[in-house]
Amino acid sequence: MKITSARVIVTCPGRNFVTLKIETDEGLTGVGDATLNGRELAVASYLTDHVIPCLIGRDPHRIEDTWQYLYRGAYWRRGPVTMSAIAAVDTALWDIKAKAAGLPLYQMLGGRSRDGALVYPHANGADIEETVDRVGDFLAKGFKAVRAQCGIPGIATTYGVAHGSKFYEPATKGLPEEQIWSTERYLDFVPKLFARLREVYGFGPHFLHDVHHRLTPIEAARLGKSLEPYRLFWMEDPSPAENQEAFRLIRQHTVTPIAVGEVFNSIHDCRELIQNQLIDYIRTTVVHAGGITHLRRIADLASLYQVRTGSHGATDLSPICMGAALHFDVWVPNFGIQEYMIHAPVTDEVFPHAYTFQDGYMFPGEVPGHGVDIDERLAAEYPYDPAYLPVCRLEDGTLWNW
Ligand code: GCO
Ligand code: MG
C-alpha cells in the first residue's frame, strides 16, 4: 500500500479544529487530529508545507519508521507544533492499519484490558451552590467522576467557570482576554467547595479539581494538604512543571494525588516526574504528545512507577483525538481515567463517531480503525474563526500563568 495524497482540513463547528486526512492507493483513508488551541494554523502549515510532501509514496503500514522519520529526520525535535503534526500523521496511520486489518484500533494495540474507560466531565458554577447543582446533574446522568470548578468571591473571572452559559469554553474571538488572579482568595476558598460537595454527595463519587498552573510549589503543597479531608481523585496542574524537580516540595507535604501533563508533548517533559514518583497521573494525550506511538512509550515508562494515565480531553481536542484516546484507554494496562469535556452537537455532526457513553464509562466502538471520521462537506460550511486563550495577571498587573 502507498500514500497517494494527504490534506489538512481546518474547520470551526463551534470551535476551531485542524484535521489531517491521508489517502492510499487501495482506497483506505485515515484521519488524525492536529488541533493546537489558539495556534491552529502553525500546525496546519507545518503539515501542509513540510510534512505532507514527505508522506507521498510511503507505505502507510510503516508507522514506527514514519514516526522516527518525522521526529529525528526534522533535526528540530519536540515542541507542541511539531509533536501535534507528528501525532496527526501517527493517528491517521493507525486508523489506516486497523481498517486494513478490519479491526478496531484497540485490537492492534494488544486488545482490551477493560470493558470501558472511566471518564470525568466538567461541572462549574458562579458560586458553590451552582457548582454543587451542576455536579448533581452529571451524577444523575450516570457519571462516577466529576471535575468541579467554582467562581471565587472577589475575582471577576475564574479559570474553569463559564461566562453565562453552563458550558465552559476558554478560547474567545479577537485578541486574548485579560483575566485577574488572586492566589490568596483562591487558596482560602477552594476547600469550602469540596467540603460542601462531600456534605451533599458523600464519599461515593470521585471529585477532581484543576488548579491550572496557578500556584508556586509551597502554595500547591498547602492546597493539597487542605484538600486531604475531601479525598480528591486528583488535583491537576498545581504548579507549572517545566522544573520537574519542583514537584518534590509538593509531594513532601501532601497525599492528595497529583495529575500533570496536558501541556507536555514528549516523554522528556515528564521523565523525572514519573521516575521520582512525583505525580500519580500523567495527562499527556494523543494529539499533543506525538500520537499513539509516543503516548504508548510514556504510558509504559509510567507503568514501571505505578503512575496511571489520565489523558487530557477538553473540547479543543477534536472527536478524532477522543476516539483514538478511547482505543488507547481500553488497552493501556495502567489506565486511570479519561477527561471527557462533552463536545457541542455541531462538532459531533462534523465528526461522526462510533464512541458512546454509558453509566460513567465510554466505549470506543467496534468499527475498524479508530471509529471517527470528518464530514468534509459539512466542515466546509464552518470556516476557520481565529480565537485565543486568555492571559492572566495578578492584581498588581504582573503577568501570571493562565
Ligand atoms: C483541562 C484543561 C483545559 C485547557 C484547554 C486549553 O483540564 O481540560 O486545562 O481546560 O485549559 O484545553 O486549550
Ligand atoms: Mg487542565
Name the residue at shortest CA distance from atom 1 of ligand 1: 314
Question: Are the beta carbons of 160 and 124 closer than 8 angstroms?
Answer: yes
pLDDT of residue 5: 98
Task: With a cut of 90, say whether residue 164 has pLDDT above it.
Answer: no
Whether 135 and 211 share a structural domain: yes
In the prediction, which pLDDT does 168 show? 82
Task: Report whether pLDDT(166) > 70.
Answer: no
- Residues 220 and 207: their CA atoms lie apart, in Å, by 18
Is 80 exceeded by the pLDDT of residue 322?
Answer: yes
Clarify whether residues 96 and 242 are in a common domain. no
Residue range 35-44: mean pLDDT, rounded? 98
Mutation test of ligand 1: which of 210, 234, 236, 342 has the most ligand atoms closer than 8 Å to its C-beta? 210
Atom of ligand 1 at shortest range from CA of 236: 7
339 CA distance to ligand 2 middle (Å): 9
Which residue is listed with cell 486508523?
95
Residue 168 Cα: closest atom of ligand 1: 10
Mean pLDDT over each residue of the chain, to the nearest integer:
97
Ligand 1 atom with minimal separation from the 317 CA = 12
Q: How many CB atoms lie within 10 A of CB 372?
A: 28
> Among all ligands shown, which has an atom nearest to the Cα of 161?
1
* Calpha distance 109→328 (Å, rounded): 8
Same domain for 135 and 72, yes or no, is no
Tell me: do 65 and 152 sit in the same domain: no
Nearest protein CA to atom 11 of ligand 1, as residue: 170
Q: Does 132 share its domain with 238? A: yes
Check whether residue 18 and residue 79 sit in a common domain.
Answer: yes
Q: Which of 120, 212, 265 to mutate to test the pocket of ligand 1 (most atoms within 8 A of CB)?
A: 212
| Distances from the Cα of 137 to the Cα of 120, 272, 342, angstroms | 13, 39, 14
**Protein residue closest via CA to atom 13 of ligand 1:** 37
* Beta carbon of 124 within 6 Å of any ligand 1 atom: no
Q: Are residues 161 and 218 in the same domain?
A: yes
Residue having the nearest C-alpha atom to atom 6 of ligand 1: 37
From 147, 282, 312, mutation site for ligand 1 pocket: most ligand atoms within 8 A of C-beta: 312
For residue 379, is it within any domain?
Answer: no
CATH code, domain carrying 95: 3.30.390.10
Residues 131 and 66 in one domain: no
- pLDDT tens track for 143-157: 999 999 999 999 988
Q: In this structure, what CATH number is given to the domain that contains residue 178?
A: 3.20.20.120
- Give the number of whichever ligand sits closest to the CA of residue 171: 1
Residue 397 has pLDDT above 90, yes or no: yes
Atom of ligand 1 nearest to the CA of 339: 8
Question: Is residue 51 pLDDT above 80, yes or no?
Answer: yes
389 Cβ inside 6 Å of ligand 1: yes
Domain count along the chain: 2
Contact 109, 296 (CB under 8 A): yes
Domain enclosing residue 91, as ranges: 3-104
pLDDT at residue 205, rounded to an integer: 98
Evaluate whether residue 175 is within a structural domain: yes
Residue 310 within a domain: yes
- Alpha-carbon distance of 268 to 290, in angstroms, equals 12
Task: Please compute the mean of the pLDDT values over residues 201-210 and round it to a whole number.
Answer: 98
Same-domain pairing of 186 and 292: yes
Together in a domain, 94 and 139: no
Give yes or no for residue 314 CB within 6 A of ligand 1.
yes
What strand order describes the sheet that includes 258-260? 122-125, 145-150, 206-210, 234-236, 258-260, 281-282, 308-311, 335-339, 117-120, 361-363, 356-358
Does 167 have pLDDT greater than 80? no
Task: Note the pLDDT of residue 174.
Answer: 84
For residue 274, the model assigns a pLDDT of 98
Give the active site residues. Answer: 159, 212
User: Does pLDDT of 217 surpass 90?
Assistant: yes
Residues 141, 244 share a domain: yes
Does the beta carbon of 212 lie inside 6 Å of ligand 1? yes
Answer whether residue 393 is part of any domain: no
Asked which of 104, 137, 156 is the last residue of a domain, the reply is 104
CA 177 to CA 349: how far, in whole Å?
Answer: 29
